[in-house]
Amino acid sequence: MPAQLITVFGGTGFLGRAIVRELVDAGQRVRIAARHPVMPLHTEGGEAIELVRADIRESRSVKAAVGGADSVVNAVSLYVEQPGASFETIHVEGAARLASLARQAGIERLVHISGIGARTDSPSPYVRARAEGESAVLEALPGAIIVRLSVLFGPDDAFLTTLAGLTRMPVIPLFGHGHTRLQPVHVTDVARALIRLLGEPLTQRRLFELGGPDVMRYRDILTLLMAHLHRERPLVPLPFFVWRVLAATTSLMKDPPLTTDQVILMQQDTLASRDVGTFRDLGIVPRSLRDSLPTCLPNS
């Protein structure tokens, strides 16, 4: 990969940190752009990291963050709306602002992170905003690359950590009957895929969907985790309308443990399509959830 200066918006998040780590290990210079940028815990190669305060809602700071960069990654994410930060302002307006200012700065390569299943007719405001954000980015910068992700996992993640917490309960409530199919993908595999997209000649593909090698039902993932953690709990089906009521009840909390958007997402499979770019196009064999559990979720 030729030496570059790559600005990573959202470089302090779960995915962003992995991207920064892999870029530095690959010998790249990285500019972490975030509202509260912090130096990563890994200090090796720290001299190659620059911290910049930037808010994707504000043009001046975004313009400064992309100035002089060779490529840009937008890994900014918002899962719960807050005052002044809605799905529209972050995933649509903010994404379009970043793409437009990157184009004005002469940047040809921008990788925009989205989610598998993004569509404008979704009943979920979050999913609709993701889809509208993709369109806004491509309108502002037609050469941008859209990367849709399945559910991410890795050390200290939210996915496995939350499920492991459920296994401590006397019984584990399922979303419906737990038949929703997921394709968990390791965060490091995603980061390495993004490096390929940043370093190789511009691909004709403009849309990639990245999922792990295993398609698993939600209930089977829980069963796998219980076996790994040496716990055994009954799995109890719970109708989706009950989950929607629970989500509506907790929505007024500052940091709700469950949102209506999450319930909607769990009503549909999250699987990578075969009609778009995948790991195979990038020469990457993603690791499985089963094989990764010992390093992601110690059972001691």
What span, in angstroms and rounded, lies between the C-alpha atoms of 233 and 178?
A: 14
Structural contact between residues 187 and 14, judged by C-beta atoms closer than 8 angstroms: yes
Tell me whether residue 93 is in a domain.
yes
Q: What pLDDT score does 44 carry?
A: 62
The torsion of the CA quartet 292, 294, 296, 297, rounded to 10 degrees, works out to 140
Q: What pLDDT score does 201 carry?
A: 67
Tell me whether residue 110 is in a domain.
yes
In tens, the pLDDT along 192-211 reads 999 999 987 666 788 999 99
Question: With a cut of 70, which residues of the chain have pLDDT below it?
Answer: 1, 42-46, 201-203, 300
Q: What is the CA radius of gyration of the chain?
A: 19
Tell me whether residue 169 is in a domain.
no
HEC profile of the chain? CCCCEEEEECCCCHHHHHHHHHHHHCCCEEEEEECCCCCCCCCCCHHHEEEEECCCCCHHHHHHHHCCCCEEEECCCCCCCECCECHHHHHHHHHHHHHHHHHHCCCCEEEEEEECCCCCCCCCHHHHHHHHHHHHHHHHCCCCEEEEECCEECCCCCHHHHHHHHCCCCCEEEEECCCCEECCEEHHHHHHHHHHHHHCCCCCCCEEEECCCCCEEHHHHHHHHHHHHCCCCCEEEECHHHHHHHHHHHCCCCCCCCCHHHHHHCCCCECCCCCCECHHHHCCCCCCHHHHHHHHCCCC
User: Closest Cα partner for 103 from 139, 135, 51, 128?
Assistant: 139
Whichever domain contains 201, its CATH number is 3.40.50.720
Tell me whether residue 174 is in a domain.
no
Number of domains in the chain: 1
Tokens of 149: 């992700």
Residue 209 — left, alpha, or beta (φ > 0 → left; ψ -120 to 50 → alpha)? beta
Structural contact between residues 90 and 76, judged by C-beta atoms closer than 8 angstroms: yes
Tell me whether residue 277 is in a domain.
yes
Structural contact between residues 88 and 70, judged by C-beta atoms closer than 8 angstroms: no
Tell me whether residue 220 is in a domain.
no
In tens, the pLDDT along 54-67 reads 999 999 999 999 99
Which residues span the domain enclosing 26? Answer: 5-153+185-211+271-286
Q: Which residue carries 């009957």 as its tokens? A: 177
Tell me whether residue 228 is in a domain.
no
Q: How far is CA 2 from CA 22, 45, 71, 201, 216, in A?
A: 14, 17, 12, 11, 38
